[in-house]
């Protein structure tokens, strides 16, 4: 079974990125042949400064390896290092109905808000389909809000296969990621950079502590029993605390007689402990930049080998010249 997923480099990773996706990617390393890419081509729709984008890509690679993505057990690469995907995107665009793309959430949402949507955003789902199909992926771990992209991918692959041959593209299946949309931000909304409510994974500990200690809580008295499941501070603690600590904290909530300040301090301490090893690994990787370059280069080579074979199938199926003809001297 081949697992594939990508993550956009649009800033430093936060708890929502980790608990909503990255942790599951790491767990799936041993579930099959895992391919993970840093989606810099997708990021071009929002990140317009070249230096920032390059920095985001490098930070993403360092963070992923520091958090436990093992290049010996999974293939990690940068999306744009595999040019075959761009060509495959064009082949898929020739069978992509306009109506299908117009119904996609990202385009519809931006249009509904009166914002200008460029062609990159409009055709975004086709590039995403090419990302998946290029690697013969069987399973794509996604949150509920991403399932539509897999459905579009399957539609495009099915149409292409119907026109040119049933064995060209493998139809992937979505695998819903547990808790992908359930990480609250510091204001109780879903954690997101757009809401400015994130807790970054590797920000300076004093900065992280300040964010957590400033979280607004309700006005109930210390003595009043509380439902932990209805409190987003508890939900944050449940992400970073041990099972025993989370159970004990839940009992404190239900019993009453404690202050939210104590919970905030517990979140700070648990978060420091949970990511201590990853912070140490990140420092080591930052001091050895050639290691990340090597990991990404090896990953790109593996990815291009697979994507090249898939592209060759697709080219020949739809009547374009194969590699043997292209390599022949004229």
Point out the residues that are catalytic.
110, 190, 193
The 3-state DSSP class for residue 30 equals helix
Question: What b-and-e string marks burial along 195-216, b requiring 16 or more CB atoms within 10 Å of the CB?
Answer: eebbbbbbeeeeebbebbeebe
Question: What b-and-e string marks burial along 21-58, b requiring 16 or more CB atoms within 10 Å of the CB?
Answer: bbbbbbebbeeebbbbbbbbbbbebebeeeeebeebbb
Q: For 175, which DSSP code?
A: E
CA distances from 109 to 37, 147, 175 (A): 26, 16, 24
How far does the chain reach from its first CA to its final CA, in angstroms? 41
CB 127 within 8 A of CB 89: yes
Bridge partner residues of 291 (DSSP): none
């Amino acid at each position: 079974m081949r697992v594939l997923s990508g993550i956009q480099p649009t800033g430093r990773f936060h708890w929502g990125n980790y608990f909503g996706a990255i942790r599951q990617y790491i767990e799936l390393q041993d579930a099959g042949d895992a391919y993970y890419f840093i989606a810099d081509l997708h990021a071009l729709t929002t990140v317009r400064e070249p230096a920032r984008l390059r920095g985001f890509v490098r930070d993403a690679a360092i963070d992923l390896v520091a958090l436990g993505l093992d290049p010996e057990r999974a293939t990690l690469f940068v999306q744009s290092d595999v040019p075959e995907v761009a060509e495959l995107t064009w082949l898929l665009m020739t069978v992509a109905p306009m109506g299908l793309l117009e119904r996609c959430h990202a385009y519809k949402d931006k249009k509904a808000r009166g914002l200008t949507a460029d062609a990159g955003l409009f055709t975004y789902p086709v590039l995403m389909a090419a990302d998946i199909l290029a690697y013969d992926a069987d399973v794509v771990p996604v949150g509920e809000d991403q399932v539509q992209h897999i459905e579009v991918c399957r539609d495009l692959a099915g149409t292409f296969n119907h026109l040119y041959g049933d064995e060209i593209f493998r139809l992937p299946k979505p695998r819903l990621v547990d808790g992908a949309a359930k990480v609250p931000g510091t204001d109780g909304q879903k954690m997101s950079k757009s809401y400015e409510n994130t807790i970054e994974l590797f920000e300076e500990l004093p900065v992280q502590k300040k964010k957590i200690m400033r979280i607004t809580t309700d006005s109930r008295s210390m003595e009043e029993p509380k439902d932990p499941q209805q409190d987003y501070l508890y939900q944050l603690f449940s992400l970073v605390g041990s099972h025993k600590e989370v159970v004990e904290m839940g009992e404190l909530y239900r019993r009453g007689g404690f202050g939210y300040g104590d919970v905030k301090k517990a979140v700070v301490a648990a978060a420091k402990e949970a990511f201590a090893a990853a912070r140490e690994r990140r420092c080591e990787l930052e001091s050895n930049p050639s290691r990340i370059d090597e990991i990404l280069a090896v990953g790109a080579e593996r990815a291009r080998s697979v994507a090249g074979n898939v592209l060759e199938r697709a080219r020949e199926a739809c009547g374009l010249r194969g590699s043997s003809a292209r390599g022949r001297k004229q």
